[in-house]
Amino acid sequence: MKRIYTTLLSLCFTMMMMAQGWPANYGGVMLQGFYWDSFGDTRWTNLESQAKELGLFYDLVWLPQSGNCGGTSMGYDDCYWFPGGNGYNSSFGNESQLRSLIKTFKENHIGAIADVVINHRKSTNGWFGFPSETYKGKTYTMSSTDVVSDDDGGKAKTEANKLGVSLGNAEENDAATGRKGEGWDGMRDLDHKSTNVQTICKAYTKMLLEDLGYTGFRYDMVKGYPSKYTAMYNANAGVKYSVGEYWDGNAATLKKWINGTKIDGTVQSAAFDFAFRYTVRDALRGSNNDNNSNNWKQSPNWSLLGNASLMSDASYRRYSVTFIENHDTEYRSSSEQQDPIRRDTIAGNAWLLANPGTPCVFLKHWKDYKDEIKQMIEARKIAGINNQSVYANESSGSTGVVRKVGSSSSDYRLLVAVGSNAGSYKASGEWVQVLSGYHYKYFLNTSTETAWADVPSQEVSSDVKVKLTAVSKTAGAKLVYTTDGTNPTAKSTAVNSGTTITVSKGSVLKVGLLKGSSVSGIITREYWSSNFTPRNIDVYVNLDNCDWSDKSYCNFWSWGGDGSHSPASGTWPGDKVTETVTLDGKQWFHKSFTINSATDFVSFVFSSGTGSPQTVDLGSDFGGYRQSVCFEITSEKEGGKYLVNDVTDQHPSSINAITTKPAGPFSNAYYTLSGQKIDKPTQKGIYIHNGKKIIVR
């Protein structure tokens, strides 16, 4: 009897796990671990080397589609679905490297989210010649009858008639959304009514979880087939985390799709909150639902952050996976500008990470603003914000929004201010400021009763100065700390709130509140030693494709990182570089810069004459693991400044150990002449902003 009872309990638990869609009261944060053509940054080995750091902040990392697509690809022309042979030798690494990455992620408390592309599939032989794959003794093969009859607007039907083969059913209507499945030219759209397609999709998704070890799914292009099939595959696999890419900015439509994934009244999948994304884009662009990409140049209207989204609806925010940028909206190049967040990127992330829902941070933003995003995640988790938290606005207007977030209307723990007026915002005495930056501030409520440190966990090459703050209702509460990884006690070193201490590299700092003889609110910061060896990064600039009148030299203006990268001249427009080298038959202006640590970097503006014409600012991540970078300046312009393409990966015969990062998005930060990055000038002096020297009087 006991055994039967235990078995029944186990079955009930399994059924509950199968029917989650996305966990309730989930406090995790996700990282999109790729951007478009991120073949260097997203190599499985490269991501695995960052597992320790990522695991301190992220609970989930969304990986690109990991199967073999028959060539260099981001995976959306998916071809092979099962392991074995070359099935998982992708543009990001081979199968053993993928398995190692997923295993290492798990060891560091990170779940890997698989990109599941089942709306369409690439054939390997003609229009309908799909690969035949044998997995665990069973062979899976699709044929022409697994393709929708109206694929490619009738082109597939024409081809089928030529070949004398049959196709499947037409694209279905989704009863939940009332919309017909969207087609996608170039690949064969699959007929999910087909029993064979269903069988293979079920086997594929189960394999991702049970064999490769993925934790959950991100379904690509779910507009292409009815929501009931996402429900079917999830229920069969028993997946805990599922999010669909239903690309629609209408919150009501997103809710319909989520409802369409129900089985026996239980939702089977979350959705990316495109409505939330567009509230941020519109607020920073200053116009509501306006697709004119040039409108971002007008003043922001921060009040638009209050527009409807999944996150704003208490009944659906559990299933809201929020984001502000992804690989489809980012700026890719001058010819593929997409629909990016063009300014206030860090303020947008501050808004993202303070609100309910499950935030998904974009890899480029993580790399460009790592320390600030780390602290935002720390504040979010200390405050206990989860995907079903509640919020209330303290104020909202075109110049800024102030919002408090917590577990209930009587227990708000986190206060966020974003907007052009955020810098001047002062909270009441129940709030303690823990973080601020360009157009944002974070506060924790004194009821949180926690310690705070202003330097997040990270790899370091030298000792670290850390400011400690007490967040407590107890006036004058002291802080106690240790640097050996042990929990502090009342006998540990005690300091006043606001004290800055020096922590040796390689230490684990733990800080707690001391009230009477008890210690509470302990936080941990790890500052592990870097084994980085200083080296040069070689920078090459080609002017062949721009219309500058004088191409006999190129001015290099440089700054950033540890402050050692300022031009030798010290004045704008920087160093006049005439040295050239030949790479793959082209002439490039060349200059080397010394990168002193794994977190050191150098940023650039290139120009001619006395600084005009000039390029846009180039990134903040040319350093770290990079050894060389090739820039081509084009005649395309943005805001009157010339655009630049990072074409490093096109010159493998001349440069060794290359990884790549596309140009942009570009920084709006200010820099002192010594290269120090600041949010905004607060004192008189000379600064560099958007690659130009400005004088603040």
Span 307-324, pLDDT tens digits: 999 999 999 999 999 999
Is the pLDDT confidence value at 258 over 70? Answer: yes
Look-up of token digits 């998904």? 360
Higher per-residue pLDDT: 333 or 35: 35
Which pLDDT score is estimated for 696? 52
Distance of alpha carbon 688 from alpha carbon 565, whole angstroms: 14
pLDDT band of 623, cuts 50, 70, 90: low
Does 687 have pLDDT greater than 50?
no
Residue 7 has pLDDT above 80, yes or no: no
Q: Residue by residue, what is the 3-state secondary structure of 236-281?
A: HHCCCEEEECCCCCCHHHHHHHHHHCCECCECCCEEECHHHHHHHH
Q: For the chain, how long is the longest CA-to-CA vector?
A: 89
Q: Is the pLDDT of residue 79 over 90?
A: yes
> pLDDT band at 469, cuts 50/70/90?
very high
* Alpha-carbon span 164 to 288, nearest angstrom: 51
679: helix, strand or coil = coil
Across the chain, what does the average pLDDT equal? 89
Taking the CB of residue 137, how many other CB atoms lie within 10 A of it? 5
**3 state DSSP class of 332:** coil
pLDDT tens, position by position, 344-401: 999 999 999 999 999 999 999 999 999 999 999 999 999 999 999 999 999 999 999 9
Cα–Cα dist 121/188, whole Å: 5
Residue 183 confidence (pLDDT)? 87
Which amino acid is residue 455, in one-letter code? V
What is the pLDDT averaged over residues 633-649?
86
Q: Which two tokens stand for residue 438?
A: 């360009």
Name the DSSP letter for residue 599: T
E strand intervals along 57-159: 60-62, 111-116, 120-121, 133-135, 138-140
Contact of 285 with 277, CB cutoff 8 Å: no
Q: What is the per-residue pLDDT for 288?
A: 76
In which band, very low, low, confident or very high, does the pLDDT at 629 lie, cut at 50, 70 and 90? confident
pLDDT in tens, 402-454: 999 999 999 999 999 999 999 999 999 999 999 999 999 999 999 999 999 99
Q: Is the pLDDT of residue 601 over 90?
A: no
Strand, helix or coil for residue 370: helix
Confidence of residue 292 (pLDDT cuts 50, 70, 90): low
Res 657 pLDDT > 50: no
Which range of 86-100, 293-307, 315-329, 560-574 scores highest in mean pLDDT? It is 315-329
Question: How do residues 149-172 score in pLDDT, each as one tens digit?
Answer: 999 999 999 999 999 999 999 999
pLDDT of residue 24: 97
Which tokens is 477 given? 């509460």
Residue 449: count other Cβ atoms within 10 Å of its Cβ: 17
Q: Which of left, alpha, beta for 560 (phi over 0: left; psi -120 to 50: alpha)?
A: left
Distance CA 160, CA 145 (A): 10
pLDDT tens-digit readout, 479-493:
999 999 999 999 999
Determine phi and psi for 246, rounding to 5 degrees. Answer: -100, 95
Instruction: Assign 664 a pLDDT band (cuts: 50, 70, 90).
Output: very low
- Give the closest residue to 501 by CA, choosing from 461, 451, 459: 451
Assign 128 a pLDDT band (cuts: 50, 70, 90).
very high
Place of tokens 């990055």: 677
Of the CA atoms within 13 Å of residue 218, those in its CB half-sphere come to 25
Q: How many Cβ atoms sit within 10 Å of the Cβ of residue 663?
A: 22
pLDDT, tens digit (0-9, with 9 covering 90-100), for 25-52: 999 999 999 999 998 789 898 899 899 9
Q: What is the pLDDT of residue 293?
A: 58
Over 60: is that where the pLDDT of 689 sits? no
> Do the beta carbons of residue 43 and residue 93 sit within 8 Å?
yes
Distance CA 179, CA 173 (A): 5
pLDDT of amino acid 289: 60
| CA dihedral of 386, 388, 394, 399, whole degrees rounded to 10 | 80
Q: What is the mean pLDDT of residues 585-606?
A: 85
Q: Which two tokens stand for residue 62?
A: 């969304």
> What integer pLDDT is reported at residue 21 of this predicted model?
87
Helix (H, G, I), strand (E, B) or coil at 527: strand
Please give the average per-residue pLDDT across 271-290, as a whole number: 91
**What is the distance between the alpha carbons of residues 276 and 260, in angstroms, rounded to a whole number?**
20
Amino acid 658: pLDDT: 32
Query: 173 φ, ψ to 5°?
Result: -85, 140
From residue 536, alpha-carbon distances to 18, 579, 617, 629 in Å are 52, 17, 21, 11
CB count within 10 Å of CB 673 equals 17
Distance CA 318, CA 243 (A): 11
Phi, psi of 471 (to 5 degrees): -110, 95
Q: Tell me the C-alpha distance between 415 and 441, whole Å.
A: 8
The token pair that represents 159 in the structure block: 């081809």
Alpha helices by DSSP H, 417-474: none
pLDDT at 534: 84
